[in-house]
Amino acid sequence: MKSRTNNPEAMRGRVLDVAAEAFQSRGYHSTSTHDIVREAGITGGALHHHFPTKKSIALAVIRERVAQAVEDAWIDPVQSARTAAEGIQAAFANITNELDERGRVRGCPLNNLALELSAVDPDFQSAVQNVFDGWRAAITEKLRTDKSAGLTAIADPEETATFVVAAYSGAMALAKASQTSAPLKSCARQLATILRATGANASRARKR
Amino acid sequence: MKSRTNNPEAMRGRVLDVAAEAFQSRGYHSTSTHDIVREAGITGGALHHHFPTKKSIALAVIRERVAQAVEDAWIDPVQSARTAAEGIQAAFANITNELDERGRVRGCPLNNLALELSAVDPDFQSAVQNVFDGWRAAITEKLRTDKSAGLTAIADPEETATFVVAAYSGAMALAKASQTSAPLKSCARQLATILRATGANASRARKR
Amino acid sequence: MKSRTNNPEAMRGRVLDVAAEAFQSRGYHSTSTHDIVREAGITGGALHHHFPTKKSIALAVIRERVAQAVEDAWIDPVQSARTAAEGIQAAFANITNELDERGRVRGCPLNNLALELSAVDPDFQSAVQNVFDGWRAAITEKLRTDKSAGLTAIADPEETATFVVAAYSGAMALAKASQTSAPLKSCARQLATILRATGANASRARKR
Amino acid sequence: MKSRTNNPEAMRGRVLDVAAEAFQSRGYHSTSTHDIVREAGITGGALHHHFPTKKSIALAVIRERVAQAVEDAWIDPVQSARTAAEGIQAAFANITNELDERGRVRGCPLNNLALELSAVDPDFQSAVQNVFDGWRAAITEKLRTDKSAGLTAIADPEETATFVVAAYSGAMALAKASQTSAPLKSCARQLATILRATGANASRARKR
DNA sequence: ACATACGGGACAGCCCGTTACT
DNA sequence: AGTAACGGGCTGTCCCGTATGT
């Protein structure tokens, strides 16, 4: 008879950690519930107790782990930066650094799951969309309140935020496909130029 | 015994058509070989004769169908457009129109497979990368040879091309997640502004 | 939903019984896992729970059923017989009788699997060898401790034991090929003569 | 378009060579017709032209290759030897030498197929039995006509021949299971002693 | 709360044969 | 004589979910 440590919170957390990791590395469909059971060192029964279906695991991963990852990697840096442009650059820089250290590009956890699951099920779709919305909202807000030179002139902060998220998402997709951080670096530079240029234009416009 | 007419090309083509459609709509892992057999109206033996493994189907789909789709939707419009900016806008416009007519956003076939398969297998990864490379190369070339006002001043056409591809890819990911064409429209507008702005800057720079 | 009673041991045993029977009658490769599922009256899931692979079934059959059969048919009779020669004759006699009653010669379960699987996989090979070793060891031991007239003079009990096992195995192979018990009877007689002769020789030798 | 060399005899022979080799190494059921096609460098259609079914290949292998192998390894040496005992020892010696050089024990081609196929199909069974019968007949004949000292006294040459074949077959089975030539050497020694002893007994008997 | 046993049904891949075609 | 396309069906494995047991 094996010993057992009743600690539901810890077990739930371990499951989510393992599942988040597996979903990002191998994808949702390529990860079996048995993989999670094995890697988390638990039993099928325990998994079922906390998550009755595989779908419920994925939803929890999106809501509790992926959303957190987006917050850590994007929302916090952007909010705490001096300007929106700096926040965006910081986010890119941090992610690129991590990538170069790791050596392998697993892609953006949100985009990976978004592409794989959005078409599968409306529950997945809306869960994913919520995270995207929070992400865009944070950037939008920063763009709106950014009092740095000229950026106030940005016509549509929401659209710009969408654009930033899209550029990053696509850059990460290219990075994953090429297994290089180069596309991310390129896009970071392009975005930097654009945001500066926009500001410059705007300030120039105002000066006249 | 029924009569039979050998027509390997047609059968192969039908398999690829069905598989390309299924992989885009439901994804690679959510499509079973039996689905393909059923939808293509063939037998398991015939499928195995032409494609011994599911992976070989996906590789052929990427190389022969997805690459073609990218060519039709991006490379041809860009090459035949007057300017790079116009070509890019045309590509966005066509795709967005199709999306709005269809009502459902299935995502970019290349990005869907890229995100799902790049991490799975190096063969997939390089097949996907080849298509991305062709795509970027076409835009790069157009940017380089574009004699329209000021755009010759683009510092790094390759990087700009990467950025365009990334922005589109990410925009389509957002569109899929939100099941709306709005992100695509936003990003198209942003890109238009940027390319125009860049040109404006450049011409301004030259005037001085 | 039907009610269910968990009884893992019984289910495992039923699987092994069915598999042992099928492997002996039709061979390992000619028995499908579905055959086992059907004949044991279980489900695929249950089979997979107890035996994740077909190989694991065969290994269990060898270790838990074939080894037992060898013990019943050879080791026990030899050990409990008065002399080695008598034990060997008893084993032959019992097996031949069973054969004649059954009418059909399915061969020695150990040799059947040995010939079919030894070259396939080292795990099979060593599992089979273990049973052979136990078989030979029992005969060796009996020959060594046999105080009956003259047999103590057997130069190399181990080699003689090997010879007995080989003669039986080959005789059963001939019996299977001819679907007759005749080869077994012939070999039993030959072995009887030899063991007696050896004893006679030995005792004659000692008398001198 | 590939060139083609019409040479039915050669193709048939190549198929049988490849099949014989594969059947001995891996067994009948573990060898697919596609394996044969690939290893023989032919096409499925060509195989089907010469051998309409897999069974027909096996029957031809038994009748044309395995029978020949038994003739080369046993019948010829026994017939051309001075005495039966010497012929048997020569056969054992040759086979054991080959085994030691090869390093891997694949078993007796006849016994391998006999054990795997005798129970499957009566056609296989009788084909195998024919080869066994020829083998035993050759030894029987030699034992009968052997004018060497004492061996004429062998009571039942046919039974003795059966015994020799059985001992060899079983020894090879043990050799395959242990992947050692040791069992063959042991049994050869035992048989040598027996045949000599029998001769000695007989001549002793006659002397009195 | 957790563990083991089990249900059914799919999964990708492969099998042996046959038929159309050169 | 020989080639390539094709037909069905089956293989071992694995899947996710649930029920029973502690």
- Please, which chains are in contact with D (at least 3 CB pairs closer than 8 A)? C
pLDDT tens column, A123-174: 999 999 999 999 999 999 999 987 665 545 677 899 999 999 999 999 999 9
What is the token pair recorded at A155?
């016509």
- Please, which chains are in contact with A (at least 3 CB pairs closer than 8 A)? B
Q: Which of D122, D131, D105 is nearest to C115 (CA)?
A: D105
Residue C169: list chain D partners with CB under 8 A: 166, 169-170, 173-174
- Which of D111, D114, D190 has the CB atom closest to C163's CB atom? D190
C1’ E5 / CA C191, Å: 50
Distance from CA of B139 to the nearest CA of A (A): 15
Q: Higher-confidence residue: B178 or A150?
A: B178
Q: What's the confidence (pLDDT) of residue A198?
A: 57
Helix (H/G/I), strand (E/B), else coil: D37: helix
Helix (H/G/I), strand (E/B), else coil: B1: coil
Per-residue tens of pLDDT for chain D, all 208 residues: 444 556 778 889 999 999 999 999 999 999 999 999 999 999 999 999 999 999 999 999 999 999 999 999 999 999 999 999 999 999 999 999 999 999 899 999 999 999 999 988 999 999 999 999 999 999 999 999 876 655 456 778 999 999 999 999 999 999 999 999 999 999 999 999 888 765 544 444 444 3
Helix (H/G/I), strand (E/B), else coil: D43: coil
Residue C190: list chain D partners with CB under 8 A: 159-160, 163
The whole-angstrom separation of Cα C114 and Cα C132 is: 9
- Which of D173, D183, D201 has the CB atom closest to C111's CB atom? D173
Please tell me which residue lies nearest to nucleotide F21, judged from CA to C1'.
Answer: C6
B187 touches chain A (CB under 8 A): yes
Residue D168: list chain C partners with CB under 8 A: 170
Instruction: Note whether A83 and A105 are within 8 A (CB).
Output: no
The alpha-helical segments, DSSP class H, found in chain C are: 8-26, 33-40, 44-50, 54-60, 67-70, 76-80, 84-102, 109-117, 122-145, 157-178, 182-207
C151 pLDDT more than 70: no
Instruction: Note whether B163 and A190 are within 8 A (CB).
Output: yes
The nucleotide lying nearest C7 (C-alpha to C1') is E5
A120 touches chain B (CB under 8 A): yes
Instruction: Note whether A191 and A88 are within 8 A (CB).
Output: yes
Torsion of CA D90, D91, D93, D98, to 10 degrees: 140
Residues 131-150 of D with CB under 8 A from C: 132
Residue A166: list chain B partners with CB under 8 A: 166-167, 169-171, 173-174, 183, 186-187
What is the token pair recorded at B118?
């790049």
Q: What's the confidence (pLDDT) of residue B4?
A: 85
**Contact (CB<8Å) C129/D170:** no
**Contact (CB<8Å) C183/D162:** yes
Q: What is the mean pLDDT of chain C?
A: 91
C1’ E12 / CA B32, Å: 8
**Contact (CB<8Å) C187/D25:** no
pLDDT tens column, B38-69: 999 999 999 999 999 999 999 999 999 999 99
**Contact (CB<8Å) D167/C162:** no
Q: Band of the pLDDT at A1, cuts 50, 70, 90?
A: very low
Q: Band of the pLDDT at A202, cuts 50, 70, 90?
A: very low
Instruction: Note whether B167 and A166 are within 8 A (CB).
Output: yes
Distance from CA of B6 to the nearest CA of A (A): 36
Closest chain C residue by Cα to residue D22 = C119
Instruction: Write down the residue that tokens 């059968």 correspond to.
Output: B11
The whole-angstrom separation of Cα A171 and Cα A176 is: 9
Q: Band of the pLDDT at C205, cuts 50, 70, 90?
A: very low
Phi–psi pair at D123, nearest 5 degrees: -65, -45
**Contact (CB<8Å) A190/B112:** no
Q: How many Cβ pairs closer than 8 A exist between chain C and D?
A: 152
Q: Report the predicted TM-score, pTM, of the whole model to 2 decimal places.
A: 0.91
The whole-angstrom separation of Cα A68 and Cα A137 is: 15
The whole-angstrom separation of Cα D156 and Cα D154 is: 6
CA distances from A206 to A150, A200, A201, A202 (A): 8, 10, 9, 6
Interface test with A, best of B35, B131, B156, B163 (most A CBs within 10 A): B163
**Contact (CB<8Å) D187/C166:** yes
Tally of CB atoms within 10 A around B51: 21
**Contact (CB<8Å) B115/A167:** no
Tally of CB atoms within 10 A around B195: 24
What distance, in Å, lies between the first and last C-alpha atoms of chain D?
A: 82
C1’ F6 / CA A71, Å: 55
Q: Do the two chains A and D touch, given a threshold of 8 Å on CB pairs and at least 3 pairs? A: no
Instruction: Write down the residue that tokens 């032209």 correspond to.
Output: D49
D157 Cβ contact partners less than 8 Å away, ≥ 6 residues apart = D140, D143, D144
The whole-angstrom separation of Cα B190 and Cα C124 is: 67
Q: What's the confidence (pLDDT) of residue C145?
A: 87
Phi–psi pair at C180, nearest 5 degrees: -140, 155
C3 Cβ contact partners less than 8 Å away, ≥ 6 residues apart = none
- Which of C129, C168, C194 has the CB atom closest to D170's CB atom? C168
- Please, which chains are in contact with B (at least 3 CB pairs closer than 8 A)? A
Residues 81-110 of D with CB under 8 A from C: 106-107
pLDDT tens column, A29-70: 999 999 999 999 999 999 999 999 999 999 999 999 999 999
- Which of A114, A174, A179 has the CB atom closest to B165's CB atom? A174
Please tell me which residue lies nearest to nucleotide E10, judged from CA to C1'.
Answer: B32
Residue A54: list chain B partners with CB under 8 A: none
Interface test with D, best of C117, C163, C187, C203 (most D CBs within 10 A): C163
**Contact (CB<8Å) D187/C162:** yes
C80 Cβ contact partners less than 8 Å away, ≥ 6 residues apart = C87
D148 Cβ contact partners less than 8 Å away, ≥ 6 residues apart = D82, D83, D84, D85, D199
Q: What's the confidence (pLDDT) of residue D95?
A: 97
Helix (H/G/I), strand (E/B), else coil: D40: helix
- Which of C163, C186, C198 has the CB atom closest to D186's CB atom? C163
- Which of A25, A163, A176 has the CB atom closest to B115's CB atom? A176
Give ∠ CA C150-C171-D67 in degrees, rounded to 5: 130
Q: Within 7 A of a protein CB, which nucleotides of strand E?
A: 1-21
What burial class does residue B190 get, using C-beta atoms within 10 Å of its C-beta: 0-12 exposed, 13-18 middle, 19+ buried? buried
Q: Which of C190, C118, B61 is nearest to D163 (CA)?
A: C190
CA distances from A115 to A14, A72, A137 (A): 25, 21, 21
Q: What's the confidence (pLDDT) of residue B10?
A: 95
A32 touches chain B (CB under 8 A): no
The whole-angstrom separation of Cα A97 and Cα A103 is: 10
C120 touches chain D (CB under 8 A): yes
Residue D190: list chain C partners with CB under 8 A: 159-160, 163
**Contact (CB<8Å) A174/B132:** yes
Q: Band of the pLDDT at B204, cuts 50, 70, 90?
A: very low
